Amino acid sequence: MIGCVCSSIAPGTTHTERYREGLTEVNCYIDAGNSRIKAHLARRSQKTVEPVVIDWPAANESDPVGALATRLEPLLVDEKGRSPKQVVLASVVEPRRRDWLGTAIAEVCPQAECRWLEVPGKCCHVRVAYESPADLGVDRFCAMIEARACHPDRPLAVINAGTAITLDVLAADGQHLGGLILPGWRAQLQALRAAAPALAPAIESLEHAGEFAEPRDTAAPVPETTRRLGLAADTATAIELGRHWLIAAGVNQMLSVWQERLADEGPLLAVIAGGDADRLADLIDPALEHCLEADLVLAGVVRLARARR
């Protein structure tokens, strides 16, 4: 385990004194994704800890570092003013937001050392297919090693449904065979808004409805055959169905291909995680074995940090 003793412990404090004062070793782990930040403190005395979800500052935030520091402080500083000495981070964001996060942590707990994880060529029984492992997103690697730890010695398709939908395939022996990246539900809307501005009103109606379009009044009823085929009679619903079928077709086709190719190694299991995991799971062909795993990337961050200490 990565040692991280609370910063208020005075030099020379004995184990008995620490116990009496209620001080425990604590590590802070952070998964900095494009949509949000997930983090938790892991203490020796706690088997499971509910992660904290922190939103990134808005693009027009005048003081993004200060906003992040305010949101991080309840996590990083306890009621007695104690904070971790080390914060372990896995980040897939651009340098600007990474700098915001590092600076905010330094403001909240200046004694903390930030340790940014990188993707190794091999770790935790997973071997990366990329010629340059650093080119693989650390979130994808963390998801793979945690999925394999939960479901060892069988072929896996590890799917993370967030800003992007990533799918990585692992052979039963842990060899990464490669992956693909699809735009997630929100990313598709953002891309359409930028490329086809005339669709903005329909996109806004989806966003205001929580991204699920309600049936629209039309001049004539939509034929039942059209409904069964998944077609729409208004623009907003057409966009919603288009996103649905794009993701469903891409993911199910890839799962079917690799289930057939890896049949000699056993049945392929799709392990699904991420903020839109439930939504994606509803699209998976029932004939394909799949399961949901909460906080897969964050758990993988802990696993990678401990393996690479």
Q: Which residues are the active-site residues?
A: 139
* Nearest-angstrom CA–CA distance, 99 and 133: 23
Please list the residues that pair with 161 across neighbouring strands: 165
Instruction: Show Cβ contacts of residue 42 under 8 Å, excluding neighbours closer than 6 positions.
Output: 26, 27, 28, 29, 49, 302
* Nearest-angstrom CA–CA distance, 296 and 156: 14
Question: DSSP secondary structure string, 208-252?
Answer: HTTT-PPPPP-SSPPPHHHHHTT--SSHHHHHHHHHHHHHHHHHH
Please report the beta strands in 62-213, taking only residues with DSSP state E, as ranges in sequence order: 86-91, 113-116, 122-123, 126-127, 156-161, 164-170, 176-183
Tokens of 101: 């996060």
Mutual angle of helices 64-76 and 95-108, in 10-degree steps? 50
Please answer whether residues 88 and 305 qualify as being in contact, where contact means their C-beta atoms are separated by less than 8 angstroms.
yes
Angle at 214 between CA 208 and CA 219, to 5 degrees: 120
Tokens of 136: 């693989």
Write down the residue that tokens 């085929």 correspond to. Answer: 229
